[in-house]
Amino acid sequence: MLPKPLSYMAWPLYWACQGCVLFGVWVIGHECGHHAFSDYQWLDDTLGLILHSALLTPYFSWKISHRRHHSNTSSLERDEVYVPKVKSQRGYYFDKYLDNVPCRLLRVIIRLTLGWYLYICFNMAGRKYDRFASHFYPLSPIYSDRERVQIVISDVGVLAALCGLYYLATVKGLAWVICVYGVPLLIVNGFMVLTTYLHHTHIAVPRYDSSEWDWLRGALATVDRDYGFLNTVFHNLTDTHVAHHLFSTMPHYHAMEATKAIKPILGDYYNFDATPILKAYWRESKECIYIEPGEGDSDKGVFWRKIHPRAKDDAFPTCNNFVAMISEMNLLQDDGEWWLDSGATKHVCKDKIFFKSLEPVNDGSVMFMENSAIAEVKGKGTIHLEFTSRKVLVLKDVYYVPEVRKNLVSGGLLNKYDFKVVFETDNFVLSKGDAL
């Protein structure tokens, strides 16, 4: 046994390592539920029942609801989990009292610690049914009559695991069971919520009503995430989720190969976000508050996440609200391509020829636009804009984004660095101090 000062440091290390490894074990049970572990259904179900029961997950109950999630991904009416609310369903008190940092932090903590059991016990954050729904209740509306025996088997498996834990507590003590098993299990449950939430919650991922939904659209409305070295520990469930939704019976050890193969085929339909996981989770919890119908005939039946106004200050840079066309006023560059944008938080250029210096960006950074489109940032550099007065405006840290339609000068950044912007008749005047 380690002396007490060292044991206090060793326990958190054990909890973190054991929790991550056990989530990898849970993922193997998930593979069994998809019949992706072996060629034998009885072997998959036997192993899955043992592994998931040991982690207090009702195997058949979750397998059935998860199968329906795969069959109805991103359907507003039929998806089984993380069905977002439309704006009209949000309460007045949420906006007034609950949409702030302390309450958001409390929601995040509750979701990561209790969210898994709130879902499987009470169907919270799941599909709405007309009566009580639970993964432990054989008569739950989640299941058909022929599936109810499997729910009982799942309950027996979890009950057997609980009996084993009770026996260990009588022999080793409750504190030993909590330290050795309980805390790592809490981490497993947190990862289950975290991975599922981030795979299906992103500002760029739509939802569809029954008029527009089909299986392929739903399967592509998922996001691959990067968990660093944990991708391997989690059997690449985290960074190959798009491929998993397209080929759910494919073993995990082929998922990376499949993902590399489908990327060039899917092109812009492949979704990947390399944002650090905790930062991404906080961002999505802050920004992905509700959904609203898309605008125009092309978006009929399509619902998009909307950023709450309070989140816009530190959201991705926006590309709307053009107020003037600089190039048609007094810029020497006569290509009709430079716009002053009071809403942009960064300078943006789509033409590589304007850059005096340019460094490539390969970290997956993207720029978000208010029409819910996302454009990849290809580089960052410096641009010199020459005015008719022969003065040169040096723009630093300009994003190179080939997909935008116009080159943007951020009015907000000009103001931040004490530039004064004035419109006089058909002229645009930019000054700093006494210089024009």
Overall average pLDDT of the 144-157 stretch: 97
Distances in Å between the Cα of 388 and the Cα atoms of 227, 230, 336, 369 are: 50, 55, 15, 31
Residues in the chain: 436
> Does residue 10 register a pLDDT over 60?
yes
Give percent of the chain above pLDDT 90. 56
| Pairwise pLDDT comparison (115 vs 86), residue with the higher score | 115
Overall average pLDDT of the 362-370 stretch: 71
Overall average pLDDT of the 273-288 stretch: 91
Overall average pLDDT of the 8-28 stretch: 95
Q: What is the pLDDT of residue 327?
A: 29
Angle at 233 between CA 32 and CA 220, to 5 degrees: 65
Max mean pLDDT among 77-86, 157-166, 325-334, 356-365 falls in: 157-166
Q: What is the pLDDT of residue 99?
A: 74
Cα–Cα distance between 360 and 376 in angstroms, integer?
12
> Does residue 323 register a pLDDT over 70?
no
Q: What is the pLDDT of residue 250?
A: 95
> Does residue 331 register a pLDDT over 50?
no
262 confidence band (pLDDT: 50, 70, 90): very high
Model-level pTM greater than 0.85?
no
Looking at every residue in the chain, the average pLDDT score rounds to 84
94 confidence band (pLDDT: 50, 70, 90): low
3-state secondary structure 138-206: CCCCCCCHHHHHHHHHHHHHHHHHHHHHHHHHHHHCHHHHHHHHHHHHHHHHHHHHHHHHHHHCCCCCC
Cα–Cα distance between 204 and 220 in angstroms, integer?
11
Distances in Å between the Cα of 185 and the Cα atoms of 23, 115, 117, 254 are: 8, 13, 12, 28
Which residues are bridge partners to 302 per DSSP?
A: 208
State residue 260 phi and psi, 5-degree precision: -65, -30
| Structural domains in the chain, sorted by start | 4-290 (no CATH), 322-431 (2.40.70)
Q: What is the pLDDT of residue 86?
A: 83
3-state secondary structure 246-294: HCCCCCHHHHHHHHHHHHHHHHHHCCEECCCHHHHHHHHHHHCCEEEEC
Q: What is the pLDDT of residue 286?
A: 86
148-172 helix and 59-71 helix, angle to the nearest 10 degrees: 130
Cα–Cα distance between 245 and 137 in angstroms, integer?
27
112 confidence band (pLDDT: 50, 70, 90): very high
The H or E element that residue 400 is part of is strand 392-400
Q: What is the pLDDT of residue 13?
A: 95
Q: What is the pLDDT of residue 343?
A: 62
> Does residue 300 register a pLDDT over 70?
yes
Other beta carbons within 10 angstroms of residue 387's beta carbon come to 18
Overall average pLDDT of the 295-324 stretch: 52
- Closest by CA position to 22, among listed 295, 336, 235, 318: 235
| Pairwise pLDDT comparison (388 vs 234), residue with the higher score | 234
Q: Are strands 407-410 and 392-400 parallel, antiparallel or unpaired?
A: unpaired
Q: What is the pLDDT of residue 3?
A: 76
Residue 435 contacts residue 419 (beta carbons within 8 Å): no
